[in-house]
Structure 1
């Protein structure tokens, strides 16, 4: 999707972090932007910034992507207000901290609900429209933690949910290409976002927050604007994968070399 001007982009998790940074850059490209998140105050604040960045139209909408009914409402509102979505960015994400054995049923369901179900819910609603039109692009926000699950510990469900997102993007890409739709999966590592404040958005149906003291890990964290720049370039080039941290290439190779060695034993 080389020409973005005038097209419609939907960004879940769009009120802060990578989602907001991406919205700002897409606004500068002249795209109409739909920001979806769970908190209207943060959405309105983000929408003000995106309008100032040059978007011809900005629509902030509350949506819980873990709830299919909420995503259906989102689809209906966008279709009525702006028409079809050209660029779907499945970016909403949450995480927990603590050992696997400390995670309860609600913790697993919440993280999987947002990270994985949230992605598939959006694909169910918006991908068929793209297939019918024969055009569009989907961006899936993955994670280095999902690509190399033993690289970062203490994030339990998040690592496996993100690994599933990677598999989904890779599996969808050849099929989607046959319908004129691009799919880009983004491998995100340390970025300056609010993901560690995830519990503030946890719906009551998933129970109380998981309260575990975990030592903060030292890591190189880049500004979300750097991630957004790479994503925009990836969309324009129809890249299968976008990786945010080139310095992690060797660590990734080490992990896959360990897997490949099993074929020789």
Structure 2
């Protein structure tokens, strides 16, 4: 999914007469969330960002710019996600897209030192949040003419190593759930299915300008810039669902 030479239409930008979509960026406080929210808003969408720290998610929304509305929510708590749906719908309208950027990373030396604390962290961040958000917003996405769900996964699943066993297992579970969502969209609305799509975006790592400035000695080989991730996310809304539903799209170099 190269971004070179892409037009506004290629990037999924809204025409002046198109209905603006409401897109939730789950995990909007980090560099990737800011970049994705900024790009979606620039394309003409109404953007909601969600994070558990009120000050953090507000600051991130300000960095993302106009058209981005922050909401505080612990996405690992199902009741809180249900409240989030009510809040976002009330403020911005029914949700047409969910971009899941919650996760985190933990590693070890091998199999025997994969800790329970690390697994609990990864299960909560990578799996539980995704399960909650997908269950709460599934019907909204399935009934939207432009419904899109996307998660970010890792090339670590291509050839898992002992050092990243817990991380790779958590990402694999999240991918499996997302593929099951894709099947749910196919089955929705009778024989015709839904126009919604669930997609996996695969990266080796994500990098941004602040990270490059903090570590000028590092080259970040194979990493995907958060701006390129954001462009890929925006294009999801301008690409036919048949090309996206159940797809695993590799953004890594």
Q: TM-score range by the shorter chain?
A: 0.7 to 0.9
Equivalent residue for 2:202?
187
Instruction: Select which of 231, 234, 238 maps to 1:232.
Output: 234
Are 1:143 and 2:154 counterparts?
Answer: yes
Equivalent residue for 1:27?
41
In the superposition, the TM-score normalised over structure 1's length comes to 0.73
SS in 1 for 2:207: coil
Equivalent residue for 1:101?
112
Are 1:9 and 2:19 counterparts?
Answer: no
> For the aligned residues, what is the CA RMSD?
2.7
Instruction: Select which of 69, 74, 77 maps to 1:59.
Output: 69
CA offsets 1:21-64 (integer angstroms, 9 cap, x no match): 11111010111111111222221222112224xx2xx2211222
Could you tell me which runs of 5 or more consecutive residues in structure 1 were left unpaired when the two chains were aligned.
197-215, 247-265
Instruction: Select which of 146, 161, 164 maps to 1:155.
Output: 164
Give the helix-richer structure, 1 or 2. Answer: 1
Instruction: Select which of 169, 172, 175 maps to 2:181.
Output: 172
Inter-CA distance 10–135: structure 2 relative to 1 (3 Å threshold): same
Q: 1:235 and 1:6 mapped to 2: Cα distance?
A: 11
Inter-CA distance 18–47: structure 2 relative to 1 (3 Å threshold): same
Deviation, structure 1 residue 112: 0.8
Are 1:49 and 2:56 counterparts?
Answer: no
| Contact 1:231 1:242 (8 Å CA) reproduced | no
| Contact 1:147 1:163 (8 Å CA) reproduced | no
Q: 2:175 and 2:81 mapped to 1: Cα distance?
A: 21
| Contact 2:105 2:122 (8 Å CA) reproduced | yes
CA offsets 1:137-193 (integer angstroms, 9 cap, x no match): 11122111134323xx53342211111222222333243141221111111212116
Could you tell me which runs of 5 or more consecutive residues in structure 2 were left unpaired when the two chains were aligned.
1-10, 187-192, 212-217
Deviation, structure 1 residue 134: 5.8
State the aligned residue count.
Answer: 220
CA offsets 1:47-94 (integer angstroms, 9 cap, x no match): 112224xx2xx2211222222222122122112222211111111111
Q: 2:153 and 2:223 mapped to 1: Cα distance?
A: 16
CA offsets 1:206-245 (integer angstroms, 9 cap, x no match): xxxxxxxxxx997443321012212222442143232112
CA offsets 1:98-122 (integer angstroms, 9 cap, x no match): 1343333332122111101111110
